[in-house]
């Protein structure tokens, strides 16, 4: 018997691979090898399935970000590890998935926006504050302002209207963005630390 967590994890993989609008509940049950009856034991309809899948995705993101914070030896390494998480999702994300969420399932998309502008914002703000204290970021950096700019800019990387896949390589975009961000806030000590991490293959 499939657990609720396993079902939503598999649904997330399907949405990442095929998009959301084009895939039906019949498609989902067939791809997962379970009956629709089993699927409907966990959700009321497709919109409910999407919302619960998004909520589980968000909770997984929180756990992974907390793990990164504990594993990182310094604020710059933490940013590089967070960027790795983002790249992992981008590699398997179908462009239409984001479009479908934004256009057809606004409530679920709003959950992602809230997570991004609250929890993720606080994580980046804390990273900036710690980096300033440790001297790897410049003292004139305003954590509240830069954390908001970081969040807005990183969100735009998966926006097909801004960076269409036919014109931009997503991995290259993430690399360009994280280097742009760090070089914009890092002290000389921070740049040296960044180069050390890069030489160790940390991104």
pLDDT band at residue 1 using 50, 70 and 90 as cut-offs: very low
Percentage of the chain modeled with pLDDT above 70: 98
Contact criterion met (CB below 8 Å) for 195 and 183: no
Contact criterion met (CB below 8 Å) for 75 and 136: yes
The size of the chain, in residues, is 203
Residue 186 has pLDDT above 90, yes or no: yes
Supply 31's token pair: 């791809």
- The dihedral built from the CA positions of residue 136, 169, 148 and 108, taken in this order, carries a sign that is negative
Mean pLDDT of all residues in 30-37: 89
Higher pLDDT: 199 or 143? It is 143
- The three-state secondary structure class of 95 is helix
Q: What is the pLDDT of residues 43-77, one digit of tens each?
A: 999 999 999 999 999 999 999 999 999 999 999 99
What is the chain's mean pLDDT, rounded?
A: 90
**Domain residue limits, the chain:** 46-199
Distance CA(63)–CA(153), nearest Å, equals 23
pLDDT of residue 202: 59
Report, in this order, helix, strand and coil percent for the chain, each rounded to 5.
Answer: 75, 0, 25
pLDDT band at residue 203 using 50, 70 and 90 as cut-offs: low
Mean pLDDT of all residues in 88-113: 87
Q: Which of 1.10.3720.10, 3.40.190.10, 1.10.357.10, 3.90.1300.10 is the CATH number of 46-199?
A: 1.10.357.10
Residue 6 has pLDDT above 90, yes or no: no
Mean pLDDT of all residues in 176-189: 95
For residue 186, the 8-state DSSP code is B
């Amino acid at each position: 018997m499939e657990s609720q967590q396993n079902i939503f994890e598999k649904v997330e993989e399907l949405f990442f691979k095929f998009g959301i609008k084009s895939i039906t509940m019949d498609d989902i049950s067939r791809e997962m090898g379970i009956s629709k009856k089993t699927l409907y034991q966990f959700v009321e309809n497709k919109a409910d399935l999407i919302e619960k899948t998004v909520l589980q995705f968000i909770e997984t993101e929180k756990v992974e970000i907390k793990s990164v914070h504990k594993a990182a030896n310094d604020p710059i390494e933490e940013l590089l590890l967070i960027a790795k998480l983002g790249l992992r999702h981008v590699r398997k994300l179908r462009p239409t998935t984001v479009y479908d969420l934004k256009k057809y399932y606004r409530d679920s998309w709003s959950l992602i926006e809230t997570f991004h502008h609250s929890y993720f914002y606080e994580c980046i703000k804390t990273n900036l504050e710690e980096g300033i204290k440790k001297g790897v970021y410049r003292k004139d950096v305003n954590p509240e302002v830069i954390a908001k700019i970081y969040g807005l800019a990183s969100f735009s990387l998966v926006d097909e209207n801004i960076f269409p896949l036919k014109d931009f390589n997503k991995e290259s975009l993430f690399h360009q963005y994280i280097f742009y961000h760090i070089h914009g806030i890092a002290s000389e000590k921070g740049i040296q630390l960044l180069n050390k991490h890069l030489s160790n293959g940390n991104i």
